[in-house]
Amino acid sequence: MEKSIIFGPDLKLPSIDGVKSGCENELYLLMKEIDLAFERKHKDLLKEASELKILCEAKNDEIENLKVVAHRSQSSRASLDDHTKYLVDELARLKEENARLKKEKSDFQNKVQQGEEIENELQSIKRSLNIQQEENLMLKDRLTKLSKQHGVLQEKYQKLLNVMTFDRKIGSSEQRMNIEGNAADFVEALIAEETEKYLKEESKHCEELQSKIQDEIEALKRILKDETI
């Protein structure tokens, strides 16, 4: 235990026996006062030391807490770096995904446009076929008219033969045969001419129709080929 006073309760003055000094009492009181002051100062120092110890312990705790915070901060920074890297990678992935979606959108729009073009081509072919069908109906009507004309010519030819057969008094038998032969040849030639004319027109029309249909088919094949590329 540390000494908290200097002189103590057993204070003795260095006086000579039998000799009493006049200031002995005053010196005694002064020494007591010094002991009291020293004791107070000692207590104050002990209190201050205790407070400093508590403060040091608090500072040590604070330092330890700061170490923990620093460690957590480093861990958080590492986690933040990892998260930042994740976000950068995710951003790159999203950019690639966005580019892919844009390409798919462009391809889809191209397919839609090609589909519309094919639809237009099909409508064009349909219109062409309708026109050709109308032309076929017109040709059929013309054929019907030609058949009727052929029937009329046949009737005229028959009437002519009847007249020539009925009028037996005109000319000799050889002359009648020549006339009948010439008339028959004329009618046959007229019928053959009309028939050949019709066949030529029909053949030309069929060739044109086949050519148009083939052109439409080739155009449609090209469009379908471009779509699959």
Give the pLDDT confidence of 36-85 residue by residue, as tens digits: 888 888 889 999 999 999 999 999 999 999 888 888 888 878 888 888 89
- Model pLDDT, residue 94: 92
Q: Tell me the C-alpha distance between 181 and 187, whole Å.
A: 10
What residues of the chain score a pLDDT lower than 70? 1-24, 160-161, 163-188, 190-192, 194-195, 198-199, 202, 205-206, 209-210, 213, 216-217, 220-221, 223-229
Q: What is the CA radius of gyration of the chain?
A: 68
**How far lies 187's CA from each of 117, 157, 201, 219, in Å?**
55, 7, 21, 48
First to last CA, the chain: 103
39: Cβ–Cβ under 8 A, 6 or more apart, which residues?
4, 5
Please tell me the predicted confidence (pLDDT) of residue 23. 66
| CA-closest candidate to residue 7, choices 27, 37, 42, 32 | 32
pLDDT at residue 88, as a whole number: 92
Residue 111, pLDDT score: 85
